[in-house]
Copies of this chain bind each other. A is one copy, B any other.
């Protein structure tokens, strides 16, 4: 069967994430989300009764994608380290967008978002640590990934950053 059109509900979550990522949390109003998704505010509020429910819907979807990502990382042909570093620079994937959006929400002092992100990080660290058998190295690589991610989402783009990291890791026989 052909791929289904995204439901209005999913288009609303997409719109919410897009606004959070590109314009920040102050711009992600119900009005703006509805307009971005091409529905009225009343239409939005039928699917999500409040802004809080919009946040919860977004985090639920992110957690689902997180499960799949951890599996992909464990079984990646290039190995978990390279998979992790590659996916730390924003590929524009739906998962990346969800992660950045959740980080924006977490910064507004939202415990649910902070907690969901912390759980994802713990999963990633477990995969790296299991694979490398070296906690210090696993943590350092996670920090490099965090740095790549932070730079990328902050607009500090160095196109050669990943190449430089691989160069340095090679000196550690990785």
Contact = CB atoms under 8 A, between A and B. Distances in A.
Q: How many copies does the complex hold?
A: 2
A140 B154 contact: no
Q: Count chain B CB atoms within 10 A of each CB in A23, A135, A164, A165 and give the residue with the most.
A: A164
B143 A161 contact: yes
Interface residues of A, number: 44
A46 interface: no
Contact of A25 (B26, B154, B168): B26
Nearest to A139: B164
A27 interface: yes
Interface stretch (A9-17, A37-45, A61-69, A101-109): A101-109
B143 A148 contact: yes
Contacts of A158: 139
A136 B162 CA distance: 9
Contacts of A161: 139, 143
A86 to B, nearest CB: 14
Given A118-B156, A147-B143, A108 B27 contact: yes
A171 interface: yes
What 6 pairs between A and B have smallest CB-CB spacing?
A143-B147, A146-B147, A24-B108, A136-B164, A147-B147, A150-B150
17 contacts: A22-B109, A24-B107, A25-B107, A27-B108, A107-B107, A117-B154, A117-B156, A121-B156, A136-B168, A137-B168, A140-B168, A143-B144, A143-B147, A143-B161, A147-B147, A147-B150, A172-B172
